[in-house]
A and B are shown apart, each in its own frame.
Chain A
């Protein structure tokens, strides 16, 4: 298990991605899973950086665990406003370019590409966890 606590700002997405990628590369993770997990980190950490502590700032803790059979478990913990991304409205992906709205796409993409995603508000913190078979 590895854990990292950084300020919730988009500039720190790279540090988190590098940590997770280095852990998963050691485990011989497939390129497809690795990219999908990196995209999920961009979406989820990016959301926290943009909204959790607005207009102030605060920390995010990211944990990476590996469960058997070969499943990466990544947990994001922040002390910002309670927000359950699983309750976000899903975008209509069948609309044309003119009709498409820009919101909600990131969470939708994470839900579609990860094997599991769960949220709870515990001890005053948002705890968001994704799982992906590697």
Chain B
């Protein structure tokens, strides 16, 4: 997976490419951890993300819990296959997806 980070003022955006799975989820977790401080708007761009497994969902849930306390988090450009995974697991109700 490739992670690109764009930061401006208090807004941080990550563009993810590839697969968010058991092997790559810790990479996103580490990148997010380094970015939470002072961030009030977190955007995750899934345009080039192929799929997500439960390891990725866990990272998103943890990030949502942090961001709920200090600002907002949204996920953009979610493809149909990933959206179905969000719906099956109830994550579509937890996350802000645009």
Complex contacts, B7 vs chain A, CB 8 Å: none
Chain B contact residues (Cβ within 8 angstroms of A): what range? 20 to 34
Asked if A119 lies at the interface with its beta carbon under 8 angstroms from chain B, I say no
Given A11-B23, A100-B61, A102-B61: A109 in contact with B88 (beta carbons within 8 A): yes
Instruction: Using CB atoms, name the residue of chain B closest to A108.
Output: B89
Asked if B33 lies at the interface with its beta carbon under 8 angstroms from chain A, I say no
List A residues 105-122 near B (Cβ within 8 Å).
Answer: 105-106, 108-109, 112-113
A97 and B90 contact, CB distance less than 8 A: no
Complex contacts, B80 vs chain A, CB 8 Å: 32
Contact with A along B10-43 (1 / 0, CB 8 A): 0000000001011100000000000000000000
Instruction: Using CB atoms, name the residue of chain B closest to A33.
Output: B81
Pick from A35, A94, A96, A105: contact of B57, CB under 8 Å: A105
A94 and B23 contact, CB distance less than 8 A: no
A105 and B58 contact, CB distance less than 8 A: yes
B53 and A42 contact, CB distance less than 8 A: yes
Instruction: Using CB atoms, name the residue of chain B closest to A50.
Output: B22
A93 and B64 contact, CB distance less than 8 A: no
Instruction: Using CB atoms, name the residue of chain A closest to B50.
Output: A35
Q: How far is the CA of A13 from the CA of B19 in the complex (A)?
A: 12
Asked if B68 lies at the interface with its beta carbon under 8 angstroms from chain A, I say yes
Interface centre among B50, B54, B64 (most CB of A within 10 A): B54
A39 and B85 contact, CB distance less than 8 A: yes
- Measured CB to CB, the closest approach of chain B to A102, in angstroms, equals 5
Asked if A27 lies at the interface with its beta carbon under 8 angstroms from chain B, I say no
Complex contacts, B61 vs chain A, CB 8 Å: 97, 100, 102
A109 and B81 contact, CB distance less than 8 A: no
- Measured CB to CB, the closest approach of chain B to A106, in angstroms, equals 4
Given A14-B23, A100-B61: A105 in contact with B81 (beta carbons within 8 A): no
Can you show 12 pairs from A to B with CB atoms below 8 A apart? A39-B51, A39-B52, A46-B21, A91-B89, A93-B89, A97-B65, A98-B65, A102-B61, A102-B62, A105-B58, A106-B55, A109-B88
Q: B: which residues have CB within 8 A of A?
A: 19, 21-23, 50-55, 57-58, 61-62, 64-65, 68, 80-81, 84-85, 88-90, 93-95
